[in-house]
Structure 1
């Protein structure tokens, strides 16, 4: 195994518990300012995350990348540990594509209903639900 000073430990935690815990050569997150790539010995940073995917190039499987759907939260990098605290997160292998597609369809219907009722709060909630569903679909299908 690589020296621990040359790897990043990546932890993803949600209110439901630990979702992901591995050593990586590189982790890429989507922040409000854009994508941020983190490698070993990176300066300490805290960054708010948007709905998007987290990509992890694991040290134990070169050439393979784990992809995790993350729905907001923040990432803290310190002492070669990237800790992600997310509202919710799902590994690609755990995403039910049929369920994600149904959530997308429901959100699209809710958007149309909110527009017809001129309900800005419901419209915003439905748009967030749509972003989350699309994120899960993209992570599962790789598209």
Structure 2
């Protein structure tokens, strides 16, 4: 099977650079998949789980928004934040989930519900991916 290069980059660092067989990513319009020889492509990313297949195994990476660019058998993910599933601190993610749920149930008029919902989505997604990874 032909392969392609996957690079996941955040403003802080290079998270991953690897030859892979397949990439599935959370686009804002829905999940999309990329294999070798894919046409050039650009998409905004949603909060979610990116997965890739390499060496016969599927691995997961948490992605918190950003962009994906596909060109010349290379997938570049420019993410606001990203974590490989096996590196996710589940205790920290669970605390973030609890804080977000508390903000949403408090019904405080000063609470920014959109931010609290996004925080909850990030926390739950990180926990789900940590359990898969």
Q: Is the Cα contact below 8 Å between 2:63 and 2:82 reproduced in 1?
A: yes
Q: Is the Cα contact below 8 Å between 2:62 and 2:83 reproduced in 1?
A: yes
Higher normalized helix content (fraction of residues): 1
State whether structure 2 residue 115 is matched by structure 1 residue 122.
no
| Alignment partners' CA distance in 2, 1:38 and 1:82 | 8
SS where residue 68 of structure 1 aligns?
strand
Q: Is the Cα contact below 8 Å between 2:24 and 2:52 reproduced in 1?
A: yes
| Alignment partners' CA distance in 1, 2:119 and 2:67 | 19
1:112 deviates by: 1.9
Which residue in the other structure is 2:63 paired with?
70
State whether structure 2 residue 91 is matched by structure 1 residue 98.
yes
**Structure 1 stretches lacking a partner, 5+ long:** none
4+ long deviations beyond 4 Å? none
| Alignment partners' CA distance in 2, 1:69 and 1:85 | 13
1:126 deviates by: 0.6
Q: Give me the TM-score of the superposition, normalised by structure 1.
A: 0.88
Which residue in the other structure is 2:25 paired with?
29
Q: Give me the TM-score of the superposition, normalised by structure 2.
A: 0.95
State whether structure 2 residue 124 is matched by structure 1 residue 134.
yes
SS where residue 117 of structure 1 aligns?
coil
Residues 23-51 of structure 1, C-alpha deviations (whole Å, 9 max, x = no match): 11100001011111000000000000100
**Structure 2 stretches lacking a partner, 5+ long:** none
Residues 97-126 of structure 1, C-alpha deviations (whole Å, 9 max, x = no match): 11111110011111123xx2234x611111
Question: Larger C-alpha radius of gyration, 1 or 2?
Answer: 1
